[in-house]
Amino acid sequence: MKKDPSQMRHGYTTGACSTAVTKAALTALITGDALEEATISLPIGRDATFTIEKYEISENAVSAETIKDAGDDPDATHLAHIISTVSWSDAPGIILDGGIGVGRVTKPGLPVPVGEAAINPVPRKMILTTVQQTLEEFKINRGVKVVISVPAGEEIAKKTLNGRLGIVGGISILGTRGTVVPFSSSAYMASIVQAISVAKASGCEHLVLTTGGRSEKYAMGLLQDLPEEAFIEMGDFVGFSLKQCKRQGIKKVSLVGMMGKFSKVAQGVMMVHSKSAPVDFGFLSEIAQSVGAEDDLVLEIKNANTASQVGDMMSAINNFDFFNKLCESCCYSAIKQVKGGIEMETAIYSLKGQLLGRAVGIESIDEINRDRG
């Protein structure tokens, strides 16, 4: 039985965990006392208390460790060990870096400069502010070095998009709120924005938006001349992804997916989750009729159960004009969504990887209001 989302347990970000262990390690370095808990302020305006699982204390450095709790969210970093090692520095100020399992940025386009540890701006600010406040609390005026490590980070990173984004050697330290909302779409949307930024910074002017891993595989076979950075999994967020492409000045976008979700895009639905909007079978039957389907088949389509079933009906009679026209409709819907300015193409595949239809080189917003019947 699925849990009610309102009753699901929130967790904490890697950024919040890193801040908490940094405070614990610095406090122990100053006082010699290893506290069992550390309380920090989160960006959302409330405090959170973290259990410190382990310390390693020497004369000049302290490491503190906590275990990340992502709550009821299926987060790749759930139960990861987050460690902060704090030591005194001869140089004034605060030095923040990543250690084992924290990735390093190798491509432009991310909010962290190339060459630096992948500690995003909000967690970076949280850590630096907490260190400064702790030093002031104890009236200490010394330079401090902080190194964040995640022992299993390199392995965890294989489950993320870090490699494609140019983050090598581990995970990113993330989080704009400090908390993880179960099954939140915000983290996925943020990853789409980052992927588009990296592609743009890498010189990509043609991006490929796919609905998932399988459609991305087919897209890579279709558009073999494009670099890996150009392929972005948008999931269900079609409209959001298209608007981000427009905002970042991408000149051409290819949509690649399958019959189910793209039949919704064709009718103008830009959030294609299964619960977002029903498939309009009347719309699909009109397209079928316009490409010469017989009346009996048109009626069958109007009464179909799924868009995939409609696709099977049309491919069974080798009527690929149907899919080509559906692809055209996807392009027009996309251009309407972004109000022009992007060249669009769409390709629809079967589950087994057969290219069913394709529309290319569509960029005129003047055709949007044409009679689709």
141: burial class by Cβ within 10 Å (0-12, 13-18, 19+)? Answer: exposed
Where does the pLDDT of residue 182 fall: very low under 50, low under 70, confident under 90, or very high at 90 and above? low
pLDDT band at 5 (very low <50, low <70, confident <90, very high): very low
Q: Which of 6-15, 71-80, 153-162 has the highest mean pLDDT?
A: 153-162
pLDDT, tens only, 289-341: 999 999 999 999 999 888 989 999 999 999 999 999 999 999 999 999 999 99
Q: What's the token pair of residue 207? A: 């991006």
Range picked from 64-78, 185-199, 214-228, 274-288 for highest mean pLDDT: 214-228
Considering the four listed CATH numbers 1.10.357.20, 3.30.2110.10, 3.40.1210.10, 3.40.50.2300, the one that applies to the domain covering 5-180 is 3.30.2110.10
pLDDT per residue as tens digits for the range 220-255: 999 999 999 999 999 899 999 999 999 999 999 999
| Cα separation of the two ends of the chain | 44
What is the pTM (predicted TM-score) of this model?
0.78
- How many other C-beta atoms lie within 10 A of the C-beta of residue 55? 17
Tokens representing 306?
């799924």
Give me the residues paired with residue 19 across strands: none
Decide if 34 contacts 55 (C-beta within 8 A): yes
**Is 74's pLDDT higher than 70?**
no
Token reading at 149: 């490590």
What are the residue ranges of CATH 3.30.2110.10 in the chain?
Answer: 5-180
- Residue ranges of alpha helices (H) inside the chain are 14-31, 121-137, 153-157, 162-165, 186-201, 213-222, 238-247, 259-266, 281-290, 295-302, 307-316, 321-338
